[in-house]
Amino acid sequence: MTETKKITDMSDEEIKEEVRKAYTKVAQRTTSCCGPTSSGCEETYAEKLGYEITDLPNSVTESFAGCGNPVALASLQEGDVVLDLGSGAGLDAFMAAREVGPKGHVIGVDMTPEMIEKAKLNAEKLGAKNVEFRQGDIEALPVDDESIDVIISNCVINLAPDKSKVFIEAFRVLRPGGRMLISDIVLEATLSKEIRDQIASYTGCLGGAILKEEYLQFMRDAGFVDVRIVSEAPFNIATSTKIEARKPE
């Protein structure tokens, strides 16, 4: 019997391949129910996290895999250019697109081709003309320098093997004075080696999470200022945290 390789023995590229495989399956999901009952769907997972889903097709919500609602906190303005790191099937990008309006623009970046394909189909279904999805790695963003007003991200950076690179890239693409609003999983205490070794725990947004203070320090080291925790809630054995930061003028 072949032994499953441990995440802690993998290269960054091998880890990303495991993440891609896991989120290909999430992209193929066809239900968004949370606690399905015999009479159907009581509430979607997104609604459970506070999203007001009224007129979105299931294909937008069924692959949602966030751990918060960063758009709700982002105070987006009409005309803003927004970047969503790890945009999945596009829920946050579409929410942001409504707020920035036709003069604004939203770019979603994701490294899983099936997620990008689903998000593009969703954009077509919604007739969303101010949203585009680009396949790429958030550690090397396919986005121009200083071209973004607000960055959002929902439960993604924990999955990146090199979080420092993610924040350096985020800082590069933000215009001076631009803001970053993140929902992500962070840790209050170090995980056991057993949990960190497991592929499923990594792809499930736990094994790759780092200590909260280390996470905030990566942001400050990249150049962000006014780095602050907006709110926190227990999430499995970790914490779902909303973080706000700013690039200096």
How many other C-beta atoms are found inside a 10 Å radius of the C-beta of residue 73?
A: 17
The nearest distance, CB 1 to ligand SAM, in angstroms, is 30
Which listed range, 50-58, 97-105, 126-134, 136-144, lies at the site for ligand SAM (CB under 6 A)? 136-144
Q: Which of 186, 187, 137 is nearest to 160 (CA)?
A: 137
Among 7, 131, 156, 186, which residue sits at the site for ligand SAM (rule: CB under 6 A)? Answer: 156
The nearest distance, CB 162 to ligand SAM, in angstroms, is 9
Residues 6+ apart with CB under 8 A from 191: 206, 207, 209, 237
Among 76, 95, 115, 123, which residue sits at the site for ligand SAM (rule: CB under 6 A)? Answer: 115
Contact 74, 54 (CB under 8 A): no
Beta strand pairing status for 148-154 and 131-135?
Answer: unpaired
**CB closer to ligand SAM, 103 vs 125:** 125
The verdict on 59 binding ligand SAM (CB under 6 A) reads no
The verdict on 207 binding ligand SAM (CB under 6 A) reads no
Query: How many C-alpha atoms does 36 have within 13 Å on its Cβ side?
Result: 6
Return residues touching ligand SAM (CB under 6 A).
16, 19, 23, 64-66, 86-88, 91-92, 109-112, 115, 137-139, 154-156, 159-160, 205
